[in-house]
Amino acid sequence: MRARELTGRTALWIFLLAFAFITLVPVVITILGSFKNNMELTTGATFLPDSWQFSNYAEAWQQANFSTYTVNSLIVSLSTVAGTLLVSSMAAYVVDRMDFAGKKIYVSLQAFTMFVAVGAVVLRPQFDLMVKLHLHSSLWGVILILISAHASIFFILLSFMKGIPRELDEAARIDGSSLSRTFWTIILPLLGPGLGVGALFTFRGAWNEYLLPLVFTMTKPELQTLTVGLANLKYGISAASQTHYMMAGACLSILPILVAYVFANKSFMQMTAGSLKG
């Protein structure tokens, strides 16, 4: 048994190390490439930069108009997170705590939408809908579409919701608390870990979204997000490739995601244990 256990642990560590290597190597190459000049990246002759080009970050910030595009990306991402968590948590609460006609159909439709990509396949009808709402040339059209793709977050919060004791609802009902008050004052605070996970996934998806902001901001370049502006770094004024600036810009765009991971990681440690006494 000890030999099998040792073999299993060894195989697990080999798998984890291999997975970490495959995941981290592209990140390391990108970071090192952001300090190289374009000639070094084109030839690929060296792993470390011959001379560290720290000016790449300043050039990427200026050429991509990072300050404006970062604000636009934050508006889209944070608004999408707030809207998605609000809609998903309320829907998960009602589905888990209440019985109503068409409940199974609603859950089935939510599951079905997870197999419909929010991308090129449904882009035209989404754009036509936003045209009718006069939101086809603003970031709010992008935000509404991203919020509508909340099925995965709904099921994540639904699983967390099932772990919250129903006795809390019954105790609140006895004390005269309404359904909405019970949700906002009791259930929602206990959903902290689930909200953290949902916020992280939603923020990452909205921050990395490229196609929707590209289409909805074609007539208003000042509303472009960071991913769209980063793609504009590919070629300079003379149509020459600027891979080194793209890599520097990519490293800058990763920073908000890392910050989101740090804040969301704190919520993972929260527990609902101790919410009931006796």
Give pLDDT tens digits for 167-184. Answer: 888 888 888 888 888 888
Residue 80, pLDDT > 90, answer: yes
pLDDT category of residue 274 using cuts at 50, 70 and 90: very low
Q: What is the DSSP letter of 164?
A: S
- Choose among 203, 106, 209: nearest CA to 154: 106
Contacts of residue 195, defined as CB under 8 A and 6 or more positions apart, other chains included, come to: 85, 89, 157, 188, 267
Residues in a beta bridge with 235: 241
Q: What is the pLDDT of residue 82?
A: 94
10 Å Cβ neighbour count for 241? 14
Q: Which two tokens stand for residue 271?
A: 């527990």
10 Å Cβ neighbour count for 246? 23
Give pLDDT tens digits for 178-233. Answer: 888 888 888 888 888 888 888 888 998 899 888 888 888 888 888 888 888 887 77
10 Å Cβ neighbour count for 240? 9
The mean pLDDT of the chain is 81
pLDDT category of residue 79 using cuts at 50, 70 and 90: very high
Q: How many angstroms separate the most distant Cα atoms in the chain?
A: 73
Q: Which two tokens stand for residue 139?
A: 């970031």
Q: What is the pLDDT of residue 277?
A: 42
Q: Which two tokens stand for residue 116?
A: 């419909």
- Choose among 232, 238, 240, 214: nearest CA to 63: 232
- Collapse the DSSP code of 241 into the 3-class scheme (helix H, G, I; strand E, B; otherwise coil) and give the result: strand
- Choose among 139, 41, 158: nearest CA to 95: 158
Average pLDDT, integer, range 61-85: 88
Contacts of residue 75, defined as CB under 8 A and 6 or more positions apart, other chains included, come to: 139
Average pLDDT, integer, range 14-39: 85
Q: What is the pLDDT of residue 70?
A: 87
Residue 276, pLDDT > 60, answer: no
Residue 46, pLDDT > 80, answer: no
Residue 134, pLDDT > 90, answer: no
Residue 241, pLDDT > 70, answer: no
Q: Which ranges of the chain would DSSP assign to H, the alpha helix? A: 2-33, 38-43, 55-63, 66-97, 103-113, 120-132, 139-148, 151-162, 167-174, 179-182, 188-190, 192-208, 211-216, 226-231, 243-267
Higher pLDDT among residues 89 and 219, named by residue: 89
Contacts of residue 263, defined as CB under 8 A and 6 or more positions apart, other chains included, come to: 196
Residue 100, pLDDT > 80, answer: yes
Higher pLDDT among residues 244 and 22, named by residue: 22
Q: What is the pLDDT of residue 117?
A: 62
What gap in Å lies between CA 145 and CA 214, rounded to an integer? 14
Give pLDDT tens digits for 139-171. Answer: 898 999 899 888 889 999 998 888 888 888 888
pLDDT category of residue 267 using cuts at 50, 70 and 90: low
